[in-house]
A and B are shown apart, each in its own frame.
Chain A
């Protein structure tokens, strides 16, 4: 894998047409060390998905800077893998061809990497299946394999398990940790599920809406593998909850 670099967001700011009402992101500073697992959590409309798109380079309309390994990383690149909420596989390609994406499977090296990826996401036996034949969880695993195939330094995940049922979601969270342990890419995952954030990440970025900004960053030093019933887990859970609920000092007096 290519050397991992630090991911830095410096004063990232975004508004729609300079209207103060539509201040989507306000002065976001965030830095992720290589190999770190960070989740972003916040109410809908806090701009967390927009922030992820900005980092990926899919949204170019912002101010501030995104640096990867100290250099500007404003454009989409293979260094920054992206997992969308929907799997977004190419429906006309089989699992193995989706993972290979724009590389040819006739290439021995590619073939080997694809096989390793299929093993990593535990989809042996489904190499030749089309996306329509896969369940939601399986499709999302193919999408993760496709992103990891590019050896990204950072993997950006935009509510990747939001559309899955509770059982599959828990299973996928474990699978993701497994992949992270083996792959050691930096992970930045957006979610609205507190349990998911506490279960997965080393730091939890709590965001606030209108304007979208970082409210608090909660450290999570619970050792892996984590169990959801442990007192430590519950303690962190309430800590994140409190951070989410905390009312910031009102900027103006409410008039009813």
Chain B
């Protein structure tokens, strides 16, 4: 009941906007070509769901994002861990990564298309590149943030190097790693949209692009809605994971 009460508070603003919008459409104040009424967008959503069109594109998009995220994210985690653990690796790798990090992803998209074509590879690699940096930076930060005093404990208890990683560094860095995970997920999602809008023949981005060229504004809204909903869902999943894995944290809770 308390949970429901909180949820209602969060819903006040979006629901009011929808109602206002609907009213504007009815009264004729909004151009239906640019701002189709929410009711007609829900109608579009319904038909696209029924025809299976929407699920087809969502599945393709989610697979792309997942592949890219797994590739880039796991590399970010691994390299971030190594750079955090060994100063020598940091000196060798970190300057290059920091330099690459400043390159806007949009600017290299054409290059990726030239190199890897319009197929899946260029999209997955673009997403991987986007997902790499947040996990890298935050894992690195997390490892360097491990309480030095706990290493003394690990030495007295004769932890092996492996146990030092699994029993000390990883758990201690976990809050940062999970933050990196969330940021990586949202960037992977963002890169997916970029990749699909630049050129694709399937996926939610393609759906939006295609609907735009036929002025199916309702379908464009549906595509945007899907992007938002899936993104939010993934974010909520990580937050749930955070709540489960970080219940040992003793922090201010507002």
* Chain A residues in the interface with B (C-beta under 8 A): 56-58, 76-78, 80-82, 84, 86, 88, 90-93, 101-102, 130-132, 146-147, 150
Contacts and interface: CB of A to CB of B under 8 A. Distances in A.
B156 A76 contact: yes
Given A84-B149, A84-B152, A102-B163, A130 B248 contact: yes
Given A130-B248, A132-B248, A132-B250, A92 B155 contact: no
A243 to B, nearest CB: 31
Given A56-B156, A86-B149, 12 more contacts: A78-B157, A80-B156, A81-B156, A84-B149, A90-B167, A92-B248, A93-B248, A101-B167, A102-B159, A130-B247, A132-B248, A150-B157
Contacts of A91: 248-250
5 contacts: A88-B153, A101-B159, A102-B159, A102-B160, A147-B156
Given A91-B249, A91-B250, A102 B152 contact: no
A130 B160 CA distance: 24
Contacts of A81: 156
A88 B158 contact: no
A116 B124 CA distance: 54
Interface string B226-250: 0000000000000000000001111
A58 B157 CA distance: 12
Nearest to A80: B156
A121 to B, nearest CB: 17
A84 to B, nearest CB: 7
Given A76-B156, A82-B156, A88-B150, A102 B250 contact: no
Contact of B158 (A77, A90, A147): A77
B168 interface: yes
Contacts of B250: 91, 132
Given A56-B156, A76-B156, A76-B158, A88 B149 contact: yes
Interface residues of B, number: 20
A117 to B, nearest CB: 14
A131 B250 CA distance: 9
Contacts of A101: 157, 159, 167
Interface in B149-182: 149-150, 152-153, 155-160, 163, 167-168, 171-172, 174
A86 B247 CA distance: 22
Contacts of A132: 248-250
Contacts of A86: 149
With a 10 A CB-CB cut-off, give which of A56, A58, A93, A101 has the most chain B CB atoms. A101
A3 to B, nearest CB: 19
A117 B143 CA distance: 31
A225 B173 CA distance: 46
B169 to A, nearest CB: 11
Contacts of A150: 157
A76 B250 CA distance: 30
Contacts of A76: 155-156, 158
Given A102-B163, A132-B248, A90 B157 contact: no
A57 B158 CA distance: 11
B149 A58 contact: no
Interface string B64-81: 000000000000000000
Contact of A90 (B150, B152, B247): B150
Contact of B155 (A58, A84, A93): A58
Nearest to B152: A58
B78 to A, nearest CB: 21
A48 B23 CA distance: 79
6 A-B pairs closest in CB distance = A132-B250, A76-B155, A92-B171, A92-B248, A82-B156, A130-B248
Contact of A78 (B158, B167, B248): B158
Contact of A92 (B149, B153, B174): B174
Contact of B172 (A80, A82, A92): A92
Nearest to B175: A92
B131 to A, nearest CB: 26
